[in-house]
């Protein structure tokens, strides 16, 4: 693919990004995670794009760097082709029990099972509220996604082809399902329940208590953390990334605010959240940019494509820099391609080398997750 002009990606004011859209399901239905079995899969199908969208261009790389929060929604070349999630295999998906295809009582069932308490946050494609399950007061996070923003995959369920939200598929592949004792056992937060309603998709997710995202975690510690603590977090993140990729999931948007830190013990435990920009893993390249601009790897700007493993490693490097420096390393696409990220003095040689291996500009020379896991800094 022809290389992209660097100038075209220098600012976000005229860019913004929209995700692939899937086709709506033939019927509105609610399903427990145990209702899903990806026996066979097909390509994602696109659905119409929203006619009205709040522009994602209001935050520049510089603003994202200063606030350590990148706006989700990446630069895109008009020539870039659309990515498809591929197929979902039975491995990693939950075993089915039944599929509720009722048309009128889905919201009633949701309201009978769960209570919403208050807002937790809002992103480009969904709003998240705290809540709990009525039967046992299990803390949950309830994510609402407008129907035009939902990406679907065709799956065979019980011998019938159905449209299943891609984020549901990814969460079930990455997680352990919602069987008793399984909640909290995986790197990804557990999908407890989901409801495909007529106007929105509602995901009910595990909400560890107490916990906070990495942005809040850093703010509580003065904006950055020491190398010894960063090592603990990065070791867990490398393991987490390997775990979900082994299950066939490419997160595509690993960043500070998409990492949850459980703070109930002396040693923080990290969990991956928000799989809304994720895709099913494949060996080939992806050609639709997605995720957060400040975490976008240089190969997108140079070639208009990227692969799963090298992208994840790059995003881990950007995140690590933020943990230690209290800011993100790059402000513009040109800097991502040409600037070297340096932590400065005060960090060990192994720490500096680990970061350099993550932020190597050439994806073929960048360390793999397996090599990062064996790096002496994580010993």
Residues near 282 by beta carbon (within 8 Å), at least 6 away in sequence = 86, 250, 308
Q: Any idea which residue has 């995140």 for tokens?
A: 319
End-to-end CA distance of the chain: 40
Based on the residue annotation, tell me whether 253 is a catalytic residue of this protein: yes
Kindly state the tokens that stand for 36. Answer: 């899903």
DSSP β-bridge partners for residue 188: 272
Rounded Cα–Cα distance for residues 120 and 344 (Å): 35
Residues contacting residue 125 through CB under 8 Å, at least 6 positions apart: 19, 72, 145, 146, 149, 276
The active-site residue, picked from 193, 253, 274, 331, is 253
* 83, 279 contact by CB (below 8 A): yes
* Cα(24)–Cα(163) distance, integer angstroms: 7
Question: Edge-to-edge, what's the strand order for the sheet holding 152-157?
Answer: 41-45, 152-157, 160-165
Query: What are the backbone angles phi and psi of residue 31, rounded to the nearest 5°?
Result: -140, 140
At 286, is the secondary structure helix, strand, or coil? strand
The residue assigned the tokens 């993550």 is 358
CA 150/CA 126 separation, integer angstroms: 10
Provide the 8-state DSSP code for 71.
Answer: P
Name the nearest CA neighbour of 367 among 312, 295, 302, 305. Answer: 312
Tell how far CA 143 is from the center of its chain: 14
The CA distance from 151 to 276, in Å, is 9
Residues catalogued as catalytic:
253
């Amino acid at each position: 693919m022809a290389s992209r002009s660097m100038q075209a990606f220098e600012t976000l004011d005229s860019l913004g990004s929209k995700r692939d859209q899937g086709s709506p399901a033939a019927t509105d239905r609610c399903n427990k995670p145990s209702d899903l079995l990806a026996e066979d899969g097909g390509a994602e199908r696109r659905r119409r794009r929203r006619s009205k969208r709040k522009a994602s261009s209001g935050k520049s790389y510089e603003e994202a760097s200063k606030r350590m929060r990148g706006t989700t929604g990446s630069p895109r070349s008009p020539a870039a082709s659309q990515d498809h999630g591929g197929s979902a295999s039975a491995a990693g998906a939950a075993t089915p029990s039944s599929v509720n295809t009722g048309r009128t009582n889905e919201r009633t069932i949701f309201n009978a099972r769960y209570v919403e308490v208050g807002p937790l946050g809002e992103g480009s494609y969904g709003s998240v509220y705290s809540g709990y399950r009525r039967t046992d007061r299990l803390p949950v996070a309830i994510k609402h996604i407008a129907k035009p923003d939902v990406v679907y995959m065709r799956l065979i369920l019980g011998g019938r082809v159905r449209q299943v939200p891609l984020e549901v598929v990814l969460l079930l592949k990455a997680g352990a399902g919602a069987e008793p004792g399984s909640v909290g056992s995986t790197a990804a937060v557990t999908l407890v329940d989901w409801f495909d309603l007529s106007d929105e998709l509602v995901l009910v997710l595990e909400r560890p208590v107490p916990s906070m995202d990495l942005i809040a975690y850093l703010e509580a510690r003065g904006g950055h953390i020491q190398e010894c603590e960063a090592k603990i977090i990065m070791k867990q993140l490398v393991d987490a990334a390997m775990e979900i990729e082994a299950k066939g999931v490419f997160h595509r948007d690993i960043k500070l605010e998409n990492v949850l830190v459980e703070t109930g013990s002396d040693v923080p435990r990290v969990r991956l959240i928000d799989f809304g920009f994720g895709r099913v893993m494949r060996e080939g390249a992806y050609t639709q940019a997605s995720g957060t601009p400040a975490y976008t790897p240089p190969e997108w700007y140079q070639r208009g494509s990227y692969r799963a493993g090298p992208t994840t490693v790059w995003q881990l490097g950007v995140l690590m820099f933020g943990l230690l420096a209290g800011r993100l390393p790059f402000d513009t696409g040109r800097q991502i391609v040409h600037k070297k990220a340096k932590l400065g003095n005060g960090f060990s040689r192994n720490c500096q080398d680990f970061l350099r291996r993550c932020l190597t500009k050439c994806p073929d020379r960048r360390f793999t997750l397996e090599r990062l896991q064996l790096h002496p800094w994580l010993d």
